[in-house]
């Protein structure tokens, strides 16, 4: 039986270490403070009895739990990231333990009147009677993805302490900078040596994902011309007005706040501007490759059309692909998804197979030759002050890891 107290102790020891990543940094990891947890994890893996523990110059951690059977078994892997999102501060995290949640409002911060309420976050009601770990309302929690790390380490420790559970070689990997899209960039797939792996980076209990967005980023630069406003007639070109035309020409209802499921979107996430120059930063997302390419073409054609209307090049748009839908790489080895589903069923969880409305290290790793579906880690409301994780979900995720390892060994016998 996985120890609830040990899960809480391990998880809170991770989230109280600030590991916020920085997209403006050129280093790996992008922040020096990520080393604090990376070094701690490497030592912990050694302490619980893992073999071949390594941490490279970029803070990527790998370790192996050797096989305890005498027949050939595929080598599987489990991967999580230790950085937290720069969307909200991860400094001075002060986790709150809510025992036997009663289904009512949770006061996160009385002084600032910050309330985690099931009236707004309905998923809370799924966990009535359970133990929740929340923030104190002033930081994010870091369950994304320190819950995943906690589950992987706890599962490895459990398997080491219970050799009666038969398994093949299990490799684990912990990465920096996933939250800024670089978690897999310097991951050494060949060194990792697994036939396939799972990222423990999903949300609600039961989630199992092997589809994600195709993703691109677009930078739109609009050039204007500043002239004294008193003498500007026929001379001034206000880049902010042209930028507004660009924004309003894209489909208004195809934005994150109006889409769900398999629906894609254009998302304007940053804007900086004055008369002389305005810069728009977009992300483009779609599960369907054809629709994805069409979205990029919409932005390219809009740029050309506005330049034609103004009779000069007032807009440039640079679009760069970021990652692709892992389904293309997972479908030929779909049995690895079926294994995870069966493991969930055997530990009493109903699998919720769905498409990720986002990306994951698993997507990039799948295209690097390591098929890598995503499994729930249990947290909710990532990247903000309302983040929480049920301890019981973390325990179940730990059980799923152990059960996958056991099933792989059984099926290979």
Q: Which of 173, 148, 167 is nearest to 15 (CA)?
A: 148
Tokens standing for 216? 């691109």
Helix/strand/coil for 363: helix
178 is catalytic: yes
| Tokens (6 digits) for 239 | 């880049």
> What is the C-alpha separation between 174 and 189, in angstroms, rounded?
13
Q: Which of 22, 44, 178, 201 is catalytic?
A: 178
* Bridge partners, residue 375, by sequence: 200, 208
- Residue 83 designated active-site: yes
Selection from 88, 76, 255 nearest residue 170 by Cα: 76
- The DSSP H or E segment spanning 172 is strand 170-175
Greatest Cα-to-Cα distance within the chain, rounded to the nearest angstrom: 86
Residues sharing a CB contact under 8 Å with residue 225, sequence separation 6 or more, in sequence order: 235, 236, 237, 275, 276
* Interstrand relation of 374-376 and 196-202 (parallel, antiparallel or unpaired): parallel
Q: Where are the beta strands (DSSP E) in 274-397?
A: 277-286, 315-323, 352-355, 374-376, 388-390
Q: Considering the candidates 18, 83, 144, 209, report the single residue annotated as catalytic.
A: 83
Q: Is 57 left (phi over 0), alpha (psi -120 to 50) or beta?
A: alpha
Active site members: 83, 178
């Amino acid at each position: 039986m996985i120890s609830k107290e040990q899960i809480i102790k391990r998880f809170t020891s991770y989230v109280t270490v600030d590991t916020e990543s920085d997209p403006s940094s050129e280093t790996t990891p992008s922040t020096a403070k990520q080393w604090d947890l990376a070094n701690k994890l490497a030592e912990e893996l050694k302490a619980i009895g893992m073999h071949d523990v390594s941490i490279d110059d970029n803070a990527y951690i790998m370790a192996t739990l050797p096989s305890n059977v005498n027949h050939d078994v595929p080598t599987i892997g489990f991967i999580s990231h230790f950085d937290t999102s720069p969307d909200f501060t991860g400094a001075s995290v002060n986790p709150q333990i809510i025992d036997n949640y009663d289904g009512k409002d949770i006061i996160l911060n009385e002084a600032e009147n910050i309330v985690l309420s099931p009236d707004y976050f309905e998923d809370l009601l799924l966990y009535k009677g359970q133990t929740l770990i929340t923030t104190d309302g002033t930081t994010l929690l870091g369950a994304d993805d320190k819950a995943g790390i906690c589950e992987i380490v706890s599962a490895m420790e459990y398997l080491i302490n219970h050799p009666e559970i038969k398994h093949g070689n299990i490799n684990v990997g912990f990465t920096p900078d996933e939250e800024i899209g670089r978690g897999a960039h310097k991951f050494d797939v060949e060194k990792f040596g697994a036939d396939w792996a799972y990222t423990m980076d999903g949300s609600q209990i039961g989630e199992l994902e092997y589809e994600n967005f195709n993703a691109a980023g677009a930078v739109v630069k609009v050039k204007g011309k500043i002239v004294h406003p008193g003498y500007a007639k026929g001379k001034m070109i206000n880049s902010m007005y042209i930028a507004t035309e660009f924004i309003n020409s894209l489909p208004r209802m195809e934005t994150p706040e109006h889409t769900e499921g398999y629906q894609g979107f254009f998302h304007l996430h940053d804007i900086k501007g004055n008369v002389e120059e305005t810069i728009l930063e977009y992300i483009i997302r779609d599960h369907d490759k054809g629709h994805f390419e069409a979205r990029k073409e919409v932005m390219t054609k809009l740029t050309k059309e506005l330049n034609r209307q103004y009779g000069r090049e007032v807009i440039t748009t640079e679009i760069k692909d970021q990652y692709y839908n892992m389904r293309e790489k997972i479908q030929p080895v779909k049995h690895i998804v079926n294994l995870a589903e069966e493991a969930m069923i055997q530990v009493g969880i109903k699998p919720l197979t769905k498409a990720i409305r986002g990306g994951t290290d698993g997507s990039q790793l799948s295209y690097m030759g390591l098929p890598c579906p995503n499994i729930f880690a249990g947290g909710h409301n990532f990247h903000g002050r309302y983040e929480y994780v049920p301890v019981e979900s973390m325990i179940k995720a730990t059980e799923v890891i152990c059960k996958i390892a056991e099933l792989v060994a059984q099926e290979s016998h």
